[in-house]
Amino acid sequence: MNEVLPQLDELLFSSVEGVLVESVEVTDTAVRIEARTTTGRAACPGCGCWAGRIHGSYLRFPHDLPTAGKLVVVSLRVRRFVCAEDCCPRKTFAEQIPGLTRRFGRRTERLRSTLVAVGLALAGRAGARVAGAFKVPVSRNPLLRLIASLPDPAVAAPRVVGVDEYAQRKGRVYGTVLVDVETRRPVDLLPDREADTLAAWLAERPGIEIICRDRTTFFAEGATRGAPQALQVADRWHLWHNLGETAENCVYRHRGCLRPTPAQPEQPQEEAEPTASSPWPTGHRFAERTRAKHATIHALLAAGHSKPSVARQLGITLNTILRFSRATTPEEMFTGQWQSRATRLDEYKPYLDQRWQEGCTNAWKLWEEIKEQGYPRGYASVRDYVSRALRGKPQPVGPRHHPPAPSPAGSSRTPTRYPKATGSSSKPLWPTAPS
C-alpha cells in the first residue's frame, strides 16, 4: 500500500501541490478519498504575512469530478493557522490549497471550472441536464450563479460601435445596447435611452471613429455631444426595415390601382321563372343574397383572382369560397332552408286544411283537436304551419263553424277555456244553469 499511495497522489492530484492521499474507499455509488495538506505554513488572507503556528484542524468535503460514473467526495483535512501580526484583524485563518479549494467552496476548482464551461455553453436548464448525465447532480440556479460570479471579460475600446434600443419591458422600459460592429459582440448596456447617458459613455472612449445608430433624436444628440469626432451612419438593418415599411405603406395607399374591377356578369335577356317546386323563392332575402354572392365570386374567379384573394376581398372564409366555386348555379347552394322534409305533422295536414276551410282559424284549437287524435308533438309546429301555409289561403264565406258542446262526461277531461275578465262587468264568467 505504501507503494500505491504516491501513484494515487500523481493520479488524483497531479496538478495540486501540498496534498497527501491517505486512503481511497470505493462503494457502489461513490468514491471517498481521504487526504490531508502537507505544507508547513500559509499566507494570511488579511495581511498577507506567512504564519506557521497551527491553531487546529477540521475536515472539508468538496465534491470532485466523477470517475467511472461514480461521485467523488474528497475528505480533506485542513489546518487553521494563527496570524502572527498583532495589527491584523484576523486572529486565525484556514489554509486554502491553490487549484483545489477556495473559501466557502463545496466543489473542487476543477469541478467548478467544468460546470462553468457547461453553463456558458448551455445555460441553466440544459446545462443541468447535461451535468446530470455526467453524474454531477446540479440544478440550474447554481449554474447561473457560477456564471454570474465570473469577472467581466476585458473588452478593448471599440472603433466602430452600434447603438440601438432594447426593451426591458416592451412598451414601458427601454435601455440602450452598444455593440462592437467589427467583432459583433455586445460591449455595454445602458439603463435608459437618454442622450446624456449615451454622451457620457461615448466621452469616456475617445477612440470611437464610427457610430452606427438608429435615427432617433436622442441617439443623434447623444452621439453628437459625446463623440463629435466620430462619423455617424445609419446601420443596414434599419435602412432595410424603413425601406420595407415605406414600400408597404405605398402599396397599401394605392391598393385600389392594383386590383382590377371585376367584370360584371352578362344579364340574360329573359330570366327563367323559377318553378313552383324550386326551394329558392323569388324575392326571398336569403335567396337573393345568395344569388348575388354566387355571381360576384364567379366573376372574380373568371377575372383571374385566386380563391384566397377572393376570400380576403369579400371578407368570407375560404371554405365558403370553395363551396360557391364548386356550385355552377345558385340552386346548388341549397342547404336545407326550404326542404320539404317529412314531419310528424304531415298525416294531420289534410285535417288541418279541412278545418281551416270550415272556418276554424285558432291554431291552439287545431292543435288540441289533433292532439286528441294522437299527435305527439307540441303547439309550436302547428302554429308555424298555420302561419306559413294556411294564413294566405282564402277562407269560405259563411258562418264560422263551432264544434259541438262537450258532454258532461267529457267536460271533466277537457276543461273549456274562457277569456279573462277585463274591466267591470256584471256578466258571470262561468255558464250558469237556467233557473
What's the pLDDT band for 7 if we cut at 50, 70, 90?
A: low
Out of 214-228, 270-284, 395-409, the most confident range is: 214-228
Q: Report the chain's mean pLDDT, rounded to a whole number.
A: 79
Give percent of the chain with pLDDT exceeding 90.
9
Please tell me which residue, 73 or 421, carries the higher pLDDT value. 73
Examine the pLDDT at 429 and tell me if it is beyond 80: no
Give the SS3 label for residue 81.
Answer: strand
Query: Do β-strands 19-26 and 53-60 pair in parallel, antiparallel, or remain unpaired?
Result: unpaired
pLDDT at residue 272, as a whole number: 45
Q: Three cell numbers at 7?
A: 501513484
Band of pLDDT at residue 107, cut at 50, 70 and 90: confident
> Which pLDDT score, from 0 to 100, does residue 428 have?
44
Residue 13 has pLDDT above 50, yes or no: yes
What is the C-alpha separation between 207 and 229, in angstroms, rounded?
9
Percent of the chain with pLDDT over 70: 78
Question: Which of these, 263, 332, 268, 330, lies nearest to 301 by C-alpha position?
Answer: 263
pLDDT tens per residue, range 261-283: 666 666 555 444 444 445 555 65
pLDDT at 298: 92
- Are 105 and 78 spatial neighbours (Cβ–Cβ below 8 Å)? no
What string of DSSP letters covers 124-184? HHHHHHHHHHTT----HHHHHHHHHTSPPPP-PPPSEEEEEEEEEETTTEEEEEEEETTTT
Beta strands in 287-425 (DSSP E): none
> What is the rounded average pLDDT of the residues 291-295?
89
Q: Which of 50-54, 153-157, 267-271, 292-296 has the lowest average pLDDT?
A: 267-271
pLDDT beyond 70 at 39: yes
pLDDT tens by residue, 360-389: 888 899 999 999 999 988 888 888 888 877
Local confidence band at 296 (pLDDT 50, 70, 90 cut-offs): very high
Angle between helical axes of 109-133 and 140-148 (0-180°, round to 10): 140
CA nearest 329: which of 274, 276, 285?
274
Contact present, 260 and 302 (Cβ < 8 Å): no
List pLDDT tens digits, range 312-363. Answer: 898 889 999 998 998 888 877 766 555 556 788 888 989 988 888 888 888 8
Q: What's the alpha-carbon Rg for the chain, to the nearest Å?
A: 48
The confidence score (pLDDT) of residue 153 equals: 75
